[in-house]
Amino acid sequence: MAGVGSPLEPEPLQGRNMMPLGFRRAIGVTMLATVFSFCQPGVAGATGQAGSIWGADYFPNIPLITHEGKEVRFFDDLIKDKVVVINFIFTRCPDVCPLETARLREVQKILGDRVGKDVFIYSISIDPDYDKPHVLKAYAERYQIGPGWLFLTGSQADIVTLRRKLGMYNPEERGGNLKAHTLSLLIGNQSTGRWMRSSPFENPYVMATQVGSWLHNWKLPPREGQDYASAPQVRSVSPGENLFRTRCSACHTVGGGDVVGPNKEKLGPDLFAIGQKRERGWLIRFIKEPDRMIAEGDPLSLALLEAYDSVPMPNLSLNDADIEHLLRYIEEESRRKGAPESPPGTIAGEDGGEKRKGEP
Ligand code: HEC
Per-residue pLDDT tens digits for 7-44: 322 333 333 332 233 323 322 222 222 222 233 222 22
Give 348's Cβ-side CA count (13 Å radius): 19
Q: Looking at residue 46, what is its pLDDT?
A: 32
Q: Which of 65-69, 185-189, 320-324 has the lowest mean pLDDT?
A: 185-189
pLDDT at 289 exceeding the cut of 60: yes
114 lines ligand 1 (CB under 6 A): no
Q: 204-216 vs 96-111: helix axis angle to the nearest 10?
A: 50
Burial 317-330 (b: 16+ CB within 10 A, else e): bbeeebbebbbebb
| pTM listed for this prediction | 0.51
Q: What spacing in Å lies between the alpha carbon of 327 and ligand 1's midpoint?
A: 12
Instruction: Please choose, from the candidates 357, 287, 271, 358, the residue with its C-alpha nearest in 3D space to the C-alpha of residue 320.
Output: 287
Average model confidence (pLDDT) across the chain: 73
Give 44's Cβ-side CA count (13 Å radius): 0
Q: Which atom of ligand 1 is nearest to the CA of 266?
A: 12
Q: What spacing in Å lies between the alpha carbon of 251 and ligand 1's midpoint?
A: 7
275 lines ligand 1 (CB under 6 A): no
Q: Which atom of ligand 1 is nearest to the CA of 243?
A: 38
Domain limits of the chain? 21-216, 228-336
Rounded Cα gap, residues 287 and 310, in angstroms? 18
21-216 folds as: Glutaredoxin (3.40.30)
For the chain, how long is the longest CA-to-CA vector? 69
Q: Which of 52-56, 61-65, 108-112 has the lowest mean pLDDT?
A: 52-56
Strand partners, 114: none
Q: Which atom of ligand 1 is nearest to the CA of 306?
A: 17
Q: Looking at residue 351, what is its pLDDT?
A: 41
> Which of the pair, 248 or 278, is modelled with greater confidence?
278
Quickly state the pLDDT bin for 233 (edges 50, 70, 90): very low
Rounded Cα gap, residues 120 and 215, in angstroms? 11
Task: State which of 228, 313, 315, 325 you would mutate to test the pocket of ligand 1, scoring each by most atoms of that ligand within 8 A of its C-beta.
Answer: 313
pLDDT at 115 exceeding the cut of 50: yes
CATH code for 228-336?
Answer: 1.10.760.10
pLDDT at 149 exceeding the cut of 80: yes
For ligand 1, atom 43: residue with the closest CA: 313
207 lines ligand 1 (CB under 6 A): no
